[in-house]
Structure 1
């Protein structure tokens, strides 16, 4: 959610992380719509790899029964 720009939390650590993402993403931030479109596209490009790594790390754990948690609202995760 942080990567996609749809994170609900707006605390100091989250704002710092978003700032680092924006600084290191090699693009010029012009407005919120461009930012959202960039993040959506970037997430689509990398999400398969990110989910693969997360599943591997937590493969022996029983945290979540959902297979497709990307579409579950953040509040319910």
Structure 2
């Protein structure tokens, strides 16, 4: 059973142009990828499979870059 927590978060940005928004989104993608890379390999694969299950194939492919195959 998954624990449930109520958390209030306020997120703000100073982006004023689409270029700045794009840069912030790119940084967030890298942060998410780094967090994913810190998970054990089987958990990383589960996250990627879950994304595919939601038909988020482009996002799954993006995060797969942070899932190095063990040699």
Instruction: Bin the TM-score by the shorter chain.
Output: 0.3 to 0.5
TM-score calculated relative to the size of structure 1: 0.34
TM-score by length of 2: 0.36
Greater Cα radius of gyration, structure 1 or 2: 2
